[in-house]
Amino acid sequence: MKLEVKNIRKSFSGNEVLHGISFSVESGKALGLLGRNGAGKTTTIRILMDIFKADSGEILINDKKFNPRNYPIGYLPEERGLYPKKKVSEQIIYLAELRGMPSKKAKESTKIWLERLGIGEYANRNLDSLSKGNQQKVQLAQTLVCNPEIVILDEPFSGLDPVNAQILKDTVRDLISQNKLVIFSSHQMGYVEEFCEEIAIINKGKIVLSGNLKNIKKEFGKNRLILSSNDLSLNNLKVMLEDRFKDLVSVNEVKKNYLVLELFENTTKKELLQKLLEENIDIEKFSTYEPDLEDIFVKKVGGR
Ligand SMILES: Nc1ncnc2c1ncn2[C@@H]1O[C@H](COP(=O)(O)OP(=O)(O)OP(=O)(O)O)[C@@H](O)[C@H]1O
């Protein structure tokens, strides 16, 4: 399956908050929808789920108009909407049956998911007697109980401790390997980086970067190198480069343990290395720069 979001616009009371959002994702892949608070992630997801209508633009699945009611979708909304005073397993079974799952299967699948997410022991407890993180896992069980083909998770990691975040990461990895189509929103880059093949960064209602994460990293790292020296501090190394190497490279950034350099168009790595050796610099690190997603995000969005 291929899901395409094309040029979506949305206003609230005359104030446009999405200015033409486009991205696409296929089965067997996860797309990370990234952005700062208020960027437009949840609004985009609500439009995908047909909770809000877009003012213009379209959403297609395999080139046809997408209606979420016609597809097996698991949706974890940002506002977690289960019944606080009802028993955990009862409400998951009830919601699975509402979505058309036969009663016996709903019971089996609920049991499997509660066990798998490590909350089997709470099956007969009222939801509001569980901790926030465990309630979040109940919501996740509810999202996945019907074995959806499309999984949409709005901020699934919020409120989870590292152990539970790991359980969720393993679950998402399994979904990807079972050829599900996964979309999730987050402003936590680490999670996205671990298993998203595709990303779309939204800033102030616009996509500022989207596509295959590996390719994006390659493009960002192009012509960039890291350099540090055993005998010069980073600041002294920077001053020296800006003085004697100004025709070859520019210093892009001073990181904690190294400088990030950008080679000018006609300079090769080999040439730079030779010149550095000629200057008798005791090189500690000299390698291709591989940006992490956080670097890319900060560059594109200008802050965390
Ligand atoms: N129902 C609504 N009525 C009016 N404005 C809204 C409504 N829903 C969202 N907005 C506005 O749309 C913009 C985008 O909000 P949205 O919730 O989509 O951002 P987000 O990226 O999900 O943020 P966060 O990470 O904080 O959840 C914000 O300026 C928000 O105030």
Residue closest by Cα to atom 25 of ligand 1: 37
> What is residue 78's DSSP assignment?
S
Tell how far the Cα of 64 is from the centroid of ligand 1, in angstroms. Answer: 28
CATH 3.30.70 domain extents, the chain: 222-301
Instruction: Establish whether residue 32 lines the binding site of ligand 1, counting it when its CB lies within 6 angstroms of any ligand atom.
Output: no
**H helices present in 186-292, as ranges:** 189-195, 213-221, 234-244, 269-278
Residue closest by Cα to atom 18 of ligand 1: 40
Give residue 303's pLDDT: 53
Under the banding of pLDDT at 50, 70 and 90, the label for residue 291 is: confident
Q: pLDDT tens-digit profile of 134-176?
A: 999 999 999 999 999 999 999 998 888 888 998 999 999 999 9
Report the atom number in ligand 1 closest to the C-alpha of 35.
Answer: 21
Tell how far the Cα of 106 is from the centroid of ligand 1, in angstroms. Answer: 34
Q: What is the CATH number of domain 222-301?
A: 3.30.70
pTM as predicted: 0.85
Tell how far the Cα of 87 is from the centroid of ligand 1, in angstroms. Answer: 32
What's the token pair of residue 152? 């949409």
Q: pLDDT tens-digit profile of 171-215?
A: 999 999 999 999 999 888 888 888 889 999 999 999 999 999 999
The one-letter amino acid at 154: D
- Please state the rounded mean pLDDT for residues 108-118: 96
- Please state the rounded mean pLDDT for residues 62-86: 89
CATH 3.40.50.300 domain extents, the chain: 1-71+149-212
Give residue 304's pLDDT: 46
Those residues with Cβ within 8 angstroms of residue 122's Cβ, 6 or more apart along the chain or in another chain:
88, 114, 130, 134, 138
Those residues with Cβ within 8 angstroms of residue 294's Cβ, 6 or more apart along the chain or in another chain:
189, 190, 304
- Mean pLDDT of all residues in the chain? 92
Give residue 221's pLDDT: 84
Instruction: Establish whether residue 39 lines the binding site of ligand 1, counting it when its CB lies within 6 angstroms of any ligand atom.
Output: yes
What's the token pair of residue 296? 């890319």
Q: Does 2.60.40.10 match the CATH number of domain 1-71+149-212?
A: no
Residue closest by Cα to atom 3 of ligand 1: 12
Note whether 33 and 44 are within 8 A (CB): yes
Residue closest by Cα to atom 27 of ligand 1: 37
Under the banding of pLDDT at 50, 70 and 90, the label for residue 116 is: very high
Instruction: Establish whether residue 42 lines the binding site of ligand 1, counting it when its CB lies within 6 angstroms of any ligand atom.
Output: yes
Tell how far the Cα of 9 is from the centroid of ligand 1, in angstroms. Answer: 13
Neighbours of 122 (CB within 10 A): 20
58-62, 68-72, 288-292: which is most confident? 58-62
What order of strands is seen across the sheet that includes strand 30-34? Answer: 73-76, 150-154, 181-186, 30-34, 198-203, 206-212
